[in-house]
Structure 1
Amino acid sequence: MEQFKPVTKQDGAKLRRYYETCNYGICEYSVGTKLMWRPVLHPAWAEIAGCLVVRNEHDGHWVFDYPVPGPEGDEDAALDAIEAYCLEQGAAPVISVVPECKAARLLARYPYVRVSDIRTWRDYVYYREDLQLFAGRRYSGQRNHIKKFRTQWPEAYFRPLTGKDEAVIEQFWKDYEAEFPKGDNAKARDELRLARQMLKMAGKSWFRAGGMFDGEKLVALSLAEKCGDTLIIHIEKALYSYTGVYPTLVQEFACAFGDDCQWINREDDAADRGLRTSKLQYGPAKLAPKYCFEPQNELLTHVRQIPELKTERLTLSALTPADIPAYNALVLDQERNRWWGYDDVGGLGGPVEENSFYEVARRDFENRQAVNFAVRLDGKLIGEAVLYRFDCRGGAELGCRIDSAYAGHGYGTEAFTAVANWGLYKVHLSRVVAKCFKENQASYQMLSSCMRKKGEDETFYYFEKLV
């Protein structure tokens, strides 16, 4: 997996290679949003399978943008990599701000998934011509406001802003703060601070910036970025003392920079009642949804408690406190567990206590990350079978270990087959996989007897069992 790197200003040109032609049409797929909101979302990026993959932080958890493919990009391979990365990190593979055009693809990808579409996140997207012309009865209010502005400030004009306008822009912010009506609103103050930082990049080639001037005084400004066929407005500010300047700015900016676009996106309303009212008054063509996909594994859906499974000779059931001594002996048998492929002691991250391994198994099931079956012969624990690494796409991995004193009697095969069938036919998995070290001939023979060999590498043989 490619290493994720925090988004910085220096990464802008690299990100633009993907965003420049991206037709997702929502604001998160832009350099401006990544840079402006990096103190909040802490975006990090990687190039995977010819796609841009961005990992953000939201409410203390990772969420991933939908991959943005380059010319040779493979979206499915990028999604595979996100899922594998999350599996290794013990995190949920949450794909957020998914554009409507990609929602069906993810619905087909995940058998069980929780999908949300929060109203507050939706972007206001307008036909470019509507904001350029303000034609028709529904825009009579905007036209009246523009007329009042032009009457009171007939010499006002619009022009692009460049890196040479730094002093003019800085003075605008001083004037704006003097009129700022939300000075006691921490969220609004934070947004204003981030906007000020962004305007310092007005000279960057990927941004389009412009402002309304009253003589030499800048009275309104806007900064945008063209992504695919959409002009995304990142910042739109004006002095409230200039009545009618907002619709004037909107129209002038659309006329100056919108001709090569089909859509103009004025972003979301941040649950601000005034913003919502204003943006609706401009007659959006659509409120672009941003779906959040939270894939669920089959344990969450189908398994309320660990069942009891019966075979010809064995009983498989949940571990109990009475199993702790025998379970500890099994887990700490280093000679036996050299083939297990996982360091149980190292995985604790702390000192080994009497109930440490039992508690790990209990928590893993409580969090629906794994099912640990105690393998019992005549009531005595002689091993365990663990179904784990649920990939949220219908697959899980199965492992089995038997106490050395009971090896060679086929108990492992019997237990392994029972749990595999339970996973496929009761938990509704479509695929169970397993692996063994190449040197472990006993495991190789066992897996060969009940699964299909899928492949190998320098270390392992790989197997799978399908429905």
Structure 2
Amino acid sequence: MLQFKPVTRQDGNKLRKYYETCNYGLCEYSVGTKLMWKKNLHPAWAEAAGCLVVRNCIDGQVVFDYPVPGPGGDEDAALEAIEADCLEQGIPLVISVVPESKAARLLARYPYVSVSDVRTWRDYVYYREDLQFFAGRRYSGQRNHINKFRSKWPDAEFRPLTAEDKDVIEQFWLDYEAEFPKGNNAKARDELELAKKMLTLVGKPYFCAGGMFDGEKLIALSLAEKCGDTLIIHIEKALYSYTGVYPTLVQAFADAFGDGCQWINREDDAADRGLRTSKLQYGPAKLAPKYRFEPQNELLRHVPVIPELKTERLTLSALTEADIPAYNALVLDGDRNRWWGYDDVGGLGGPVEERSFFEVARRDFENRQAVNFAVRLDGKLIGEAVLYRFDCRGGAELGCRIDAAYAGHGYGTEAFAAVADWGLYRVHLSKVVAKCFKENQASYKMLSSCMRKKGEDETFFYFEKLV
């Protein structure tokens, strides 16, 4: 499993190792966004296959950023690590804020997937030259505002901000709050407090900071971060009493820090009407989409109810209330289940009750995480076959166990083959896999008769069946 650590200020340099050359162009792929919106995103990070993997928890739901590769990083291997982590945790796989350049890759990866792209969260992305020069008729309004500002405050100048400007920045916030136009807006006040905290990071090598000064008075400031070919603007604030200072700041900041960048990202508008109007007036080159991918397994698409399967001697069907005594005896047979590979009792996370195992199987199907088939001989439950670990890429794992009193008659092979064929030809899987302990010769013989051996490690032999 991936080992995640909460994102902290101390992690900035480690994350920058990946974000510095990242060309996804979205604000979420930056240290600034992870730190500024930490309480909303709850980001945690890990490294896998030479890639940065970020897990967020938004409104109680776990979602992953698309992996960010370092030199030689393997994106597919990192995606596999994310998928495996979700399987182990028993949570849905969601990959969010996927850049447009990676969308086709995920569409090809997942046979069934729900994709969304909400307008509210698209980033406003501009050509750097447009904001640096404001050339052409469409920017005549910005030029007029800048000219008016310059005529009224001819000595105002832009200069970089450093850690030594701490007192000047603190005074700016006092001046800003004195004329803050959204004082009664809780959301705006929260954002202001976050901006203040971010400005305490001025001086960090991965942030660009600068401000407009009227003499020694700071009247506007901006904080940004270079990620690949994009300059991502995290914060822009100015005193409203200085008419025209905003476009003046935008132009000066692009001129001072835009070298080497093709794009300037001024982030999303969060559905704020005023922000949307303002950002559109600056003539974005594009509104960068942020795709949300929610892969779905085949059970969700093709299996409304557990079907009944027939073989030469057996019937396979859903567990029923009447099966509970026989099912409990099967699950609690410790000698038999030492080869099962899963601790049913430990997996409960609580005391064993009469309906415990039946309810686990029922919930797993309700959540479309697994299908538990009761294996029946003349109507009596003698075992179970479980299709589980759906990887959302056309694969699932199959396991089968038969009551000790019925072992040695080929019932396991018969049931296993039936569920494998059902998965491949009725559920439309492309691959069914299985494994057995190396010491379990009976299972090895059964799997060898139904599937192709794929490999082994110190503990297991691995098998697969493909279509």
- Report the TM-score when normalising by structure 2: 0.99
Letter in 2 for 1:317: S
Whole-angstrom CA distance in 2 between matches of 1:191 and 1:295: 33
- Could you say what secondary structure the match of 1:359 adopts? helix
Aligned to 2:249: 249
Query: Quick check: 46-55 or 284-293, which moved more?
Result: 46-55
Please state if 1:82 is matched with 2:99.
no
Aligned to 1:360: 360
Aligned to 1:443: 443
Whole-angstrom CA distance in 1 between matches of 2:188 and 2:355: 50
Whole-angstrom CA distance in 2 between matches of 1:122 and 1:364: 36
Aligned to 1:128: 128
Aligned to 1:37: 37
Aligned to 1:24: 24
Letter in 1 for 2:317: S
Deviation at 1:93, TM superposition (A): 2.0
Query: What are the residue-to-residue correspondences of 1:131-170 with 2, within 5 Å?
Result: 131-170=131-170
Aligned to 1:409: 409
Query: What are the residue-to-residue correspondences of 1:297-376 with 2, within 5 Å?
Result: 297-376=297-376
Aligned to 2:67: 67
Aligned to 2:279: 279
Whole-angstrom CA distance in 1 between matches of 2:108 and 2:380: 44
Letter in 1 for 2:454: K
Please state if 1:212 is matched with 2:212.
yes
- Could you say what secondary structure the match of 1:205 adopts? coil
Q: Is the 8 A contact 2:398 2:432 kept in 1?
A: yes
> Which stretches in structure 2 are left out of the alignment for 5+ residues?
none
Letter in 1 for 2:431: R
Aligned to 2:383: 383
Letter in 1 for 2:235: I
Q: Is the 8 A contact 2:2 2:85 kept in 1?
A: no
Deviation at 1:143, TM superposition (A): 1.3
Letter in 2 for 1:3: Q
Query: What are the residue-to-residue correspondences of 1:166-205 with 2, within 5 Å?
Result: 166-205=166-205
Aligned to 2:423: 423
Whole-angstrom CA distance in 1 between matches of 2:434 and 2:183: 59
Letter in 1 for 2:202: A
How far does the alpha carbon of each residue in 1:42-98 deviate from its partner, in whole angstroms, 9 at most, with x for none?
111112111111111112111111111111111111111111111111122211111
Aligned to 1:465: 465
Aligned to 1:4: 4
- Could you say what secondary structure the match of 1:400 adopts? strand
Percent identity, please.
87
Whole-angstrom CA distance in 1 between matches of 2:197 and 2:383: 60
Deviation at 1:260, TM superposition (A): 1.8
RMSD: 0.9
Whole-angstrom CA distance in 2 between matches of 1:42 and 1:331: 39
| Runs of 4+ that moved beyond 4 A | none
Letter in 2 for 1:321: E
Whole-angstrom CA distance in 2 between matches of 1:274 and 1:178: 20
Letter in 1 for 2:447: L
Aligned to 2:261: 261
Deviation at 1:9, TM superposition (A): 1.2
How far does the alpha carbon of each residue in 1:302-356 deviate from its partner, in whole angstroms, 9 at most, with x for none?
1100000000000100111111111111111111111111111111111111111
Whole-angstrom CA distance in 2 between matches of 1:466 and 1:442: 22
Whole-angstrom CA distance in 1 between matches of 2:462 and 2:186: 55
> Which stretches in structure 1 are left out of the alignment for 5+ residues?
none
